[in-house]
């Protein structure tokens, strides 16, 4: 084979390799963009939470950015027993939450666990569809179903209060004392 042909084939092979590497780099950049977008968006989760003997509906933004106009739609009306205020009447379920900051939680009292878990005919499983927008330059609407199932807690033990509950209780006491006298 002539040296000119070898050089030509080497140049073609080099060009093919560079085109392939360019294509791989483009794929990596696209994947990195997708990962960055997914990791920097809000994620609003609705779930049941048991704290001692009480059950709450917990709404949390576990994402990295604020969630805008958070709307929660239930597959069926929330039903409970033994509460002063019906959870379905809570303002967070009647109108969208204007903004839910990252790490922010909203708790709505649902009921007393022993009554809720043992009431015959009371639904223990709900699907809450959460719809919200991110706060990017071109806001994107997100809609995700959340399955809440109290049956999971039927035989679960609720642990004793921890340091978080202790701090929260001390803050409540401090506010109550401060509210009783002028500053």
How high is the pLDDT of residue 183?
Answer: 46
The architecture in CATH of the region 44-167 reads Sandwich (2.60)
How high is the pLDDT of residue 76?
Answer: 93
Tell me how far CA of residue 176 lies from CA of 53, 153, 165, 172, 173, in angstroms. Answer: 23, 33, 16, 6, 5
- Compute the average pLDDT of residues 7-16: 85
Tell me how far CA of residue 60 lies from CA of 1, 100, 117, in angstroms. Answer: 70, 8, 23
Indicate the helix (H) or strand (E) that contains 149.
Answer: strand 141-149
Q: Where are the domains of the chain?
A: 1-35, 44-167
Bridge partner list, 51: 54
Cβ-based neighbours of 113, under 8 Å, separated by 6 or more: 50, 53, 54, 55, 153, 158
Residues 125-161: tens digit of each pLDDT = 999 999 999 987 888 899 999 999 998 887 776 656 6
* DSSP labels, 58-88: EEEE-SSS-EEEEEEEESS----SS-SS-GG
């Amino acid at each position: 084979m002539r040296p000119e042909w070898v050089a030509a084939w080497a140049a073609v092979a080099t060009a093919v390799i560079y085109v392939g590497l360019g294509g791989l780099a483009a794929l990596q950049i696209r994947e990195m963009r997708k990962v960055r977008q997914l990791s920097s968006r809000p994620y609003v989760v609705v779930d049941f939470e048991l704290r001692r003997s009480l059950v709450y509906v917990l709404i949390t933004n576990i994402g990295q950015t604020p969630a805008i106009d958070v709307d929660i739609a239930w597959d069926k009306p929330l039903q409970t027993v033994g509460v002063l205020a019906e959870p379905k009447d809570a303002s967070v379920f009647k109108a969208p939450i204007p903004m839910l900051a990252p790490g922010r939680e909203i708790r709505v009292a649902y009921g007393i666990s022993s009554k809720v878990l043992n009431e015959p005919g009371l639904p223990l499983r709900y699907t809450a569809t959460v719809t919200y927008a991110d706060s990017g330059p071109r806001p994107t609407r997100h809609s995700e179903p959340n399955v809440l199932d109290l049956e999971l807690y039927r035989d679960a033990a609720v642990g004793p209060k921890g340091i978080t509950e202790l701090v929260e209780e001390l803050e409540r006491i401090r506010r109550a004392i401060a509210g009783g006298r002028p500053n």
